[in-house]
Amino acid sequence: MFNRLLGRMARVFTLITCSLGLAAIATNSAEATPLAAGDQFSFVAIEGGFPNPKPGAAFPGQFTIGPNSGNGQFDVTQFIVYNSTGKCISCGWHLDFSELFLDEASMELSGVMTGTLNSGVSFSVVFETDSSWTYQPQVAWAVKETGIIDAPTIDVTEPASVPEPTSLALFGTALFGFGLLRRRLV
């Protein structure tokens, strides 16, 4: 009789412990992480109205940030723009990001990016913290283009949740209890 009571208590304890352990593991949410070098962002560059050749055209893209250069600004280390079919239109361009930053407070690009197109034409793009940009090719007949960057968003890869030691202890105790229970039944 005492063994039967002890067995029931062990089963109840095991089930409660296992439930608590699994609940603790499931509810352990990953904390928000600050910006760090290597973080990648997605954006959409939208052309403004006249005189742009394609008013309202949307060009998706990505950029990667480097280390924090101070004052809450992160260096930009990579900048890619795609056309509407997903083809990289900035691949092959020679780009200089040395004056382009991601402002941590506003989460906007700011500064100047210069470069050379595949055709050999030099250009500059000025980014303002109000989300606007101005593209200026360095040729006499060129039209200055303007537009906005639609709120850059960080491309988040969910980090694997790491259970706390207490959760592991509860889970281990539950497994141990199941082992004892199986051993008694066999």
> What pLDDT digit, counting tens, does each position of 145-182 carry?
888 877 677 776 655 566 566 666 666 777 667 676 66
Can you give the pLDDT at residue 20? 45
Please give the average per-residue pLDDT across 3-21, as a whole number. Answer: 51
Mean residue pLDDT of the chain comes to: 76
Predicted structure pTM score: 0.63
Give the Cα separation of 145 and 96 in Å (integer).
19
Select from 139, 111, 110 the least CA-distant residue to 123.
139
Considering the chain, what percentage of its residues have pLDDT values greater than 70?
65
- At 47-95, the pLDDT tens digits run 888 777 788 888 899 999 999 887 889 999 999 999 888 899 899 899 9
* Alpha helices for the chain (secondary structure H): 2-26, 165-185
Distances (CA, A) of 5 to 9, 12, 16, 18, 142: 6, 11, 17, 20, 89
Give the Cα separation of 89 and 86 in Å (integer).
9
Can you give the pLDDT at residue 128? 87
Question: Are the CB atoms for 66 and 95 separated by under 8 Å?
Answer: no
Distance of CA 50 to the CA centre of its chain: 34
Can you give the pLDDT at residue 65? 92
- Compute the Cα dihedral for 26, 165, 182, 184 and give only its sign: negative
Q: Based on the number of CB atoms within 10 Å of its own CB, is 109 exposed (0-12), middle (13-18) or buried (19 or more)?
A: buried
Can you give the pLDDT at residue 49? 80
